[in-house]
Amino acid sequence: MKTYDAVVVGSGPNGLAAALVLARAGRSVKVLEGQPTFGGGARSMALTKPGFVHDLCSAIHPLAAASPFFSSLPLEQHGVRFIHSDFPVVNPLADGDAAVLERSVEATAARLGVDEGPYLRLMKPLVDGFHDLKDLIFNPLTKPPLKAPLLAARFGLAALESNVDFVESRFQHPRTKALLGGCAAHSFSPLTTPLTNAFGVILAMTGHAVGWPFIEGGSQRLVDALVAMLREAGGELEANAPVSSLEQLPPHRLVLFDTHAHVMTRVCGEALPASYRRRVEQGFKRGPGVFKLDYALDGPMPWSNEEARRTSCLHVCGTIEELSESEAAPSAGRVADRPYVLVAQHSGFDGSRAPAGHHTLWAYCHVPNGSTVDMSERVEAQLERFAPGFGQRVVARHAKTPADFEATNASYLGGDISAGAVEGLQVFFRPTIGLPYVTPNEKVLLCSASAPPGPGVHGMCGYWAAQVALKRLG
CA distances from 171 to 76, 190, 202 (A): 40, 19, 18
Domain membership of residue 52 (yes or no) is: yes
DSSP label of 309: G
pLDDT of 80-105, one tens digit each?
999 999 999 999 999 999 999 999 99
CB 217 within 8 A of CB 46: no
Q: What is the pLDDT of residue 296?
A: 98
Same domain (yes/no): 117, 264 = no
**Residue 465 resides in a domain:** yes
140 occurs within a structural domain: yes
Asked if 154 and 126 sit in the same domain, the reply is yes
Q: Give the tens place of pLDDT for each residue, 207-240.
A: 999 999 999 999 999 999 999 999 999 999 999 9
Q: What is the pLDDT of residues 96-133, one digit of tens each?
A: 999 999 999 999 999 999 999 999 999 999 999 999 88
For residue 212, the model assigns a pLDDT of: 98
Distances (CA, A) of 183 to 239, 282, 452: 35, 29, 20
Q: Does residue 206 sit in the same domain as residue 219?
A: no
Q: What percent of the chain has a predicted confidence (pLDDT) above 90?
A: 91
Q: Are 13 and 226 in contact (CB under 8 A)?
A: yes
Residue 122 sits in the same domain as residue 193: yes
Residues 239, 270, single domain; the answer is yes
CA 1 vs. chain centroid, Å, equals 38
Whether residues 199 and 220 share a domain: the answer is no
Q: What's the mean pLDDT when you consider all of the chain?
A: 96
324-362 per-position pLDDT tens digit: 999 999 999 999 999 999 999 999 999 999 999 999 999
Indicate the range of 57-71, 105-119, 135-149, 420-434 predicted with least confidence. Answer: 135-149
Residues 13 and 70 reside in one and the same domain:
yes
pLDDT (0 to 100) of residue 150: 84
357 in a structural domain? no
3-state secondary structure of 71: helix
pLDDT in tens, 173-189: 999 999 999 999 999 99
Domain boundary at 149, 177, 210, which? 210
341 within domain boundaries: no
Provide the residue range defining the domain that includes 164: 104-210
Domain boundary among 146, 178, 210: 210
Same domain, 226 and 272: yes
**378 lies in some domain:** no
Residues 183, 256, single domain; the answer is no
Confidence at residue 434, expressed as pLDDT on a 0 to 100 scale = 87
Mark 208-228 as b/e (b = at least 16 C-beta within 10 Å): bbbbbbbbbbbbbbbbbbbbe
What does the pLDDT average to over 178-203? Answer: 95
Element (H, E) at 151: helix 149-159
Q: Which of 130, 473, 97 is nearest to 305 (CA)?
A: 97
CA–CA separation, 348 and 351 (whole Å):
7
**How far is it, in rounded angstroms, from Cα 293 to Cα 48?**
10
The pLDDT-based confidence of 27 (bands split at 50, 70, 90) is very high
Domain boundary at 177, 210, 243, which? 210
Give the length of the chain: 474
Q: pTM of the entire structure?
A: 0.94
Q: State the average pLDDT over residues 38-62.
A: 96
Residue 153: predicted pLDDT? 87
| Co-location of 129 and 180 in the same domain | yes
Residue 146: what pLDDT?
Answer: 65
Local confidence band at 145 (pLDDT 50, 70, 90 cut-offs): low
Q: How confident is the model at residue 4 (pLDDT cuts 50, 70, 90)?
A: very high
Do 71 and 130 fall into the same domain?
Answer: no
pLDDT surpassing 90 at residue 143 = no
Q: How many domains does the chain have?
A: 2
pLDDT value, residue 179: 97
State residue 135's pLDDT score.
83
The arithmetic mean of pLDDT across residues 40-68, rounded, is 96
Query: What is the CATH classification number for the domain harbouring 277?
Result: 3.50.50.60
**Residue 354 near residue 393, CB atoms below 8 Å:** no
Residues 21 and 44 in one domain: yes
Return the pLDDT at 213: 98
Is residue 358, in this structure, part of any structural domain at all?
A: no
Whether residue 141 has pLDDT greater than 80:
no
| Pairing mode of beta strands 214-215, 82-83 | antiparallel
Is 454 inside a domain boundary? yes
State pLDDT tens for residues 365-398: 999 999 999 999 999 999 999 999 999 999 999 9
Q: Which helix (H) or strand (E) holds 40?
A: none
